[in-house]
Structure 1
């Protein structure tokens, strides 16, 4: 009996006329109600703590800024406290110093960023440098201020060293034109270790093949930083900018109190020190609340502008 001819490779095999049904598409399984609510239950304690300890006191402080002090305690006064603030030369000086700090902000961020880059590239002794740079971050601002009062004194070691090289002494803490820069420099020295650790954590997530490609292409270190590191660490840089801004505007009270107490001639006043003076010495909590509200608005505006600029830089890079 002859075998059935095999179907030609040029013609499709004959069909039986039956159409096979398509396999039924499995519908995605919907989780139970408990599974859908689980994420909200997990974050609820943290949200409640933030609302109770942060947002609610913040709202009370803003509301309190529209009331009076002294005989008018608790009485609504509208914008009188804000008019008093901007008419006070001390507060205007504090805002001017805050603007100066914001101008110095890129330097305060670039220092730990560059040091973290060198440590990531494993310069000789990088493990030792990592510990040494972080050590000042664990010191109390009072201790740091007391130590630098000795170092920066008119007869202190730094001026003696300057005298040896023929530059003459500098009144670091007594000259109104120099004191604010001295205090800011001490603050940056004492706190940049934390930003350095954040940068190193960002480098851990950076694709090393990008750095290898830049090395093969013959890119210089500035070109590598601009075109590889900065775009790769955009979010890390945004975080460091935000935390450094908050630190400069709200975490320098200890240094100011120990090193200059706002002097000389009120040249080192900052908004947070002004707030303490109004609340602690003059018993004007409503005026202090108004100053706190202004400081909050400044930080929100500056933070939003920083994020916008850094995102643009990251896209261009």
Structure 2
């Protein structure tokens, strides 16, 4: 017992758990690990994207920059010598390259048709027209054929004495020189390209239909909307992003994937009317041995593709907002 006036000894109270478990106090190692966790989570996406970004930089961006730099050098006797904008000025003076650029404008004008065809076919398949399962396979089949094979087949079909002209003659129409008329040949090649490649766009549209709200279609049918009204007011707004994707990828395919058809069907003729920048680049590099000029044409093609793609996205977004 305490004696006198001495105060009793008081033991300090302990906070925390009393069962022997370790108590984590503010400022301790556990708290530091807790703060490091969110920081690691913030950097995790960049770490996962790093391999893909490295591949893009090494295999895409770096060669592109090398090509742009090479386009400012000369060919032949001036090989490796800086020539400034001489190659680009020569492109502007070359009638074949000007024809190639004008054909790019033609492709832009024909793009809505190239997008509408697989879009309408996907709509009919989605609405389950009779035989829709068969149509899905048939429409995709040309996509697995090589452009060389497709070109060879249509060379036979479109020959002046071929089956197409024979059908025209049977109904009293004069034969058409499909691949020899400068005013017709480019449309024919583009049509064959669309026929051979719209199967992939069809698959993309069908994937887009899987995200479409079926209740909106049912409501439109109940309200008595026609097929055209359903397409315009329900399907097109609902597939706005899908249409943007198909439009951009189709345009890129037209600018970069028609070489095989051009080489087999027309070889750039007649009179250079079916030249595209891609084919012009191959001529300058592979036959004329002018890699610097070909690099300049490649740079112009890249800028054209970039500008057309951005313009398409802007116009499609504006159309989507208006709808």
Q: TM-score, normalised by structure 2?
A: 0.88
1:145-160 aligned at under 5 Å gives the runs 145-160=151-166
Unaligned ranges ≥5, structure 1? 1-27
The one of 105, 109, 118 equivalent to 2:115 is 109
1:91 partner SS = helix
Matched, 1:43 2:15: no
Matched, 1:196 2:202: yes
Residue range with higher mean Cα deviation, 162-171 or 136-145: 162-171
- Residue of structure 1 equivalent to 2:143: 137
Residue 34 of structure 1 and its aligned partner are, at CA, apart by: 3.5
What per-residue deviation string (whole Å, max 9, x for no partner) do you get for residues 64-98 of structure 1? 11111111111111111000000000000111111
Residue 226 of structure 1 and its aligned partner are, at CA, apart by: 1.2
The one of 34, 38, 41 equivalent to 2:40 is 34
Unaligned ranges ≥5, structure 2? 1-33
Residue 43 of structure 1 and its aligned partner are, at CA, apart by: 1.2
What per-residue deviation string (whole Å, max 9, x for no partner) do you get for residues 204-259 of structure 1? 01111111111111111111111111111111001000100001111000000000
- Residue of structure 1 equivalent to 2:307: 301
What per-residue deviation string (whole Å, max 9, x for no partner) do you get for residues 287-306 of structure 1? 00111111111111111111
CA distance in 1: counterparts of 2:85 and 2:229, whole angstroms: 51
1:155 partner SS = coil
1:12-161 aligned at under 5 Å gives the runs 31-161=37-167
- Residue of structure 1 equivalent to 2:6: none
Residue range with higher mean Cα deviation, 253-262 or 36-45: 36-45
Q: Where does structure 1 differ by over 6 angstroms across 4 or more consecutive aligned residues? A: none
Residue 30 of structure 1 and its aligned partner are, at CA, apart by: 7.1
CA distance in 2: counterparts of 1:288 and 1:155, whole angstroms: 37
- Residue of structure 2 equivalent to 1:242: 248
1:31 partner SS = helix
Judge conservation of contact 1:94–1:269 (CA < 8 Å) in 2. Answer: yes
CA distance in 2: counterparts of 1:150 and 1:237, whole angstroms: 34
CA distance in 2: counterparts of 1:35 and 1:86, whole angstroms: 52
- Residue of structure 2 equivalent to 1:251: 257
Judge conservation of contact 1:231–1:313 (CA < 8 Å) in 2. Answer: no
Residue range with higher mean Cα deviation, 92-101 or 216-225: 216-225
Alignment length (residue pairs): 290
2:159 partner SS = coil
1:283 partner SS = coil
Closer/same/farther in 2, CA of residues 29 and 235 from structure 1, 3 Å limit: farther
1:177 partner SS = coil
Judge conservation of contact 1:234–1:310 (CA < 8 Å) in 2. Answer: yes
Residue 36 of structure 1 and its aligned partner are, at CA, apart by: 2.9
Q: Which has the larger radius of gyration?
A: 2
Residue 49 of structure 1 and its aligned partner are, at CA, apart by: 0.7
- Residue of structure 2 equivalent to 1:227: 233
What per-residue deviation string (whole Å, max 9, x for no partner) do you get for residues 258-278 of structure 1? 000001111111110000000
Judge conservation of contact 1:154–1:172 (CA < 8 Å) in 2. Answer: yes
CA distance in 2: counterparts of 1:59 and 1:34, whole angstroms: 34
Residue 32 of structure 1 and its aligned partner are, at CA, apart by: 4.5
